[in-house]
Amino acid sequence: MATFAQISSPLDADRAWAAVERRDRAYDGRFVTGVLSTGIYCRPSCAARHPARANVRFFADGAAARAAGLRACLRCRPDAIARDEEAVLAAIAAIKAADQPLSLADLAALTGYSAAHFQRLFVRATGLSPAAYVRARREERARETLALAGSVTAAIYDAGYQAPSRFYEETKGKLGMNPADWARGGAGRMIHYASVETTLGPMLVAATDKGVCCLAFGEGAADLARRFPRAELVEAGEAFRALFEDVVAAVERPGTGDAIPLDVQGTAFQQRVWQALRAIAPGETRSYGELAAMLGAPGAARAVGGANGANHVAVLIPCHRVIAADGSLGGYAYGTAIKRELLRREAK
């Protein structure tokens, strides 16, 4: 019987088994898990009880597993992955092409799934519900127009909102500066900063009155000035103590800082990537290609990598959850040792 290592795969058996143990959906479609004692093969993320390691072999795909005499698991349906992905991509294409928002029922009918099942597929693939994805697309159009338009109100209407109040309501508390700040490039903002100690080393934290705008390991005020050359930088006072303490706590226990407010600048595409990063569950990882597919742009892996590198807010926007296509750690702005430790802490 063929083993995983014998099938021209970039992953080794130990790494594949680790993905199975944590039920990592990022590896679904990259290999299947054959269980010799039951004669079935599964997705890496299958929710069934884990078999004994000695009974497991790994195969590049379902065809290789079937050639070895195994049959597909009826619980996780590993051979349905391609169809599921095609359905989600078709729905995303329809959303982008539509003049009016499409309902969940419309998208389900388009793909041939029930509404409830399609909703689960879409959330699993993108981290957002179809309705939330539609809203994100509309926000993206608004931000793209704001970068060029002379009138904030005109840009909001051009993006498809019925009224400016609707835009402000939907984007309140989201990533990014308000529309007027976006239109003028964020100039004139006051940024409060401090250097703090963590178990991962010294860390720079900076925030505006709206939220954290920078979190970087091993950096100082001079680095912050290079990142924000048009902002007024001041050392943080007592008013920011509680916020910065929350940030340190979120670094010590990554994956716990979702409630911390952020105030970040970026292009519309970068904003989408950063939102997608925050949608990856703690303890899970994605490759650049998989993250691009989540955004409905499967050919944009390089652009996703660029957006990842433009992230000023480590940990809270978890770019450490993006790994290389072969399952290795890949790079990280603050060193792979910190990246490895962040992932280890999240997996606990």
Q: Decide: 332 and 339 in contact? Cβ < 8 Å.
A: yes
Tokens of residue 170, six digits: 């939907």
Catalytic residue among 76, 213, 214, 319: 319
Sign of the alpha-carbon dihedral angle for 234, 238, 243, 246: positive
What whole-number distance in Å separates Cα of residue 144 and Cα of residue 155? 9
State the Rg of the chain over Cα: 22
Amino acid at 348: K
DSSP state, residue 218: T
Residue 46 appears among annotated catalytic residues: no
Helix (H, G, I), strand (E, B) or coil at 341: helix
Catalytic residue among 42, 46, 76, 213: 42
Parallel/antiparallel/unpaired status of strands 40-42 and 32-35:
antiparallel
Which candidate, 226, 301, 227, 229, places its Cα nearest to that of 269? 301
Number of Cβ within a 10 Å radius of residue 304: 27
Judge whether 32 and 41 are in contact, CB under 8 Å: yes
Pairing mode, strands 201-207 and 212-217: antiparallel
The Cβ-side half-sphere exposure at 81, using a 13 Å CA radius, reads 20
Which residue, 158, 162, 164, 228, is CA-closest to 192?
A: 228
3-state secondary structure of 5: helix
Chain position carrying tokens 């990856």: 280
* 234 CB neighbour count, 10 Å cutoff: 11
Respond yes or no: is residue 76 known to be catalytic.
no
Nearest alpha-carbon partner for 249 in 336, 312, 315: 315
Would you name the residues annotated as active-site residues?
42, 319
